[in-house]
Structure 1
Amino acid sequence: MTNMMHDKGLSSQIGWQNRDASGNVLSTRQRMTMHRLRTWDERFRTRNSKERNLKQALGEIDRMSSSLGLPEPIRETASVIYRRALASDLLPGRSIEAIATAALHAAARQAGIPRTVDEVAAVSRVDEMEFKRAYRYIVRELHLEIAPPDPEQYVSRFASELSLSEETEIRARELLRIAEENELQSGKSPVGLAAAALYAAALLTDEKLTQDDVSVVADVSSVTIRNHYRELLEADSKSPSMDNERLQRY
């Protein structure tokens, strides 16, 4: 069974190949008959409005997951969250697409593989404001346990997209740890901090990287990076030099 299908994969489905068991092409009359059978089969598999709602939502979750490169376990979790929202009657007054988007965002956050709000909004069929309202709503109503976003969760992906060295990625993580120790993360965007940490780390490791490069990948402004990276470097300058023991943590 799978939660990623509205019927959990338990029903049968008539194929669309228009060939018989021997692989021969069906005649025109046979194809017309099969078309009618498929139509009735599809109607039977979604017998009521809730099932049609669920089928549409799970299709949206699958589409967005593919666009965002999210793995199957996250799709499964998002499907479960959506089913809970539907069972709890949270849909009235909200679109299927908004709740589906919110469920996927919540699932990614829970799994520690978050995507930025801008990234999710870019693949959603609803605007960012509607998606964010739906997200806050289902988190509150379903009592979803979601930890505050951690800037380090974005570092690996951004570093990979920027083709940065492992040394720079490690240094960026160290800068973020120092920032946390000095309470510099409070009130700041985790995405902006991750971007700034990578830029600052590249400066420290003499790796060629511009603020514009990071800005494009992280989808944050160069001003944000410029403001944050200076704070990170200042905090780092007051911290003991990185030694082998600290390196091994990463």
Structure 2
Amino acid sequence: MSPDTNDHGEGSEGGGETNPTQKRRLQQRLDVSEEVLADAVELYQTFRDSDAEVVHDRALPIAVLYIAIRQNGVPRQIDELAEVANVSPRRLYRTARAVGDTLHQGIPPSEPELYVGRLADQFDVASETETAALRVLATAKTDGYHVGRKPAGVAAAALYAVAVAEDERPDITQRALSEAAGVHIKTVRENYKELPSMSEHKA
């Protein structure tokens, strides 16, 4: 994907392909696979061949990566990608929507279950704990509670609720989870208090 974006959000010179250095930089900063990057490059090159007006938008390289990430079910928040592109999350999402509409590529909704696995790996929790958190989310989704809420925050709250119930991991705090999930601690706290399916886990 090119032009690449530097830390100031300015486009660097280059052609229509991603060179190995740019790909490694994206992999290191966002921890995504070669397969996801390859999908993003294909989307980028296809879009550059179109006559869309946003083809020179500096958010474009990260916008196509965002689409590829969502299509591959990778748990990454748009805020993380917006920081890399040095653009607002709103602008990045609007660019991604424009690309998706032009190429008839859907952007699947991000699911909190994806973030449970990511957080579980970061905190090295037992598989039983991860499974219990997923059950909490399954019940919550039946109630429609997750709609309109940050999936990472809901996932962090679910994992926290189970950790509190098990009372075996004092290191899994609301603050630690909020930092790992990339959300404000208030988001985790409010989701923990309000998520309907968590009542059975609370002391």
* TM-score, structure 1 as length reference: 0.67
Counterpart in the other structure of 1:215: 178
- Distance, in Å, in 1 between the alignment partners of 2:190 and 2:88 is 29
Contact kept in structure 2, 1:158 and 1:218, CA below 8 Å: yes
Deviates more, 1:135-144 or 1:55-64: 55-64
**Paired-residue identity, %:** 34
Contact kept in structure 1, 2:160 and 2:177, CA below 8 Å: yes
Name the amino acid aligned to 1:55: E
Counterpart in the other structure of 2:30: 68
1:164 Cα shift? 2.4
1:130 Cα shift? 3.1
Greater Rg over alpha carbons, structure: 1
Counterpart in the other structure of 1:194: 155
Counterpart in the other structure of 1:235: 197
Name the amino acid aligned to 1:139: G
Q: Structure 1: where are the runs of 5+ without partners?
A: 6-50, 240-250
- Distance, in Å, in 2 between the alignment partners of 1:134 and 1:57 is 22
Counterpart in the other structure of 2:79: 118
1:60 Cα shift? 4.4
Instruction: Indicate whether 1:99 and 2:79 are aligned.
Output: no
Give the root-mean-square deviation of aligned CA atoms: 2.7
Q: Which runs of structure 1 show a deviation greater than 4 angstroms over 4 or more consecutive aligned residues?
A: 56-62, 236-239
- Distance, in Å, in 1 between the alignment partners of 2:175 and 2:200 is 27
Give the number of equivalent residue pairs: 189
What SS is found at the alignment partner of 2:43? helix
What SS is found at the alignment partner of 2:36? helix
Counterpart in the other structure of 1:47: none
Name the amino acid aligned to 1:163: D
- Distance, in Å, in 1 between the alignment partners of 2:177 and 2:135 is 18
Counterpart in the other structure of 1:27: none
What SS is found at the alignment partner of 2:16? helix
Q: Structure 2: where are the runs of 5+ without partners?
A: 3-12
What SS is found at the alignment partner of 2:17? helix
1:224 Cα shift? 1.1
Counterpart in the other structure of 2:187: 224
Counterpart in the other structure of 1:143: 104
Higher relative contact order (CA 8 A, sep 6+): 2
Deviates more, 1:58-67 or 1:196-205: 58-67
- Distance verdict in 2 for CA 1:182–1:126, change over 3 Å: closer
- Distance, in Å, in 1 between the alignment partners of 2:108 and 2:166 is 31
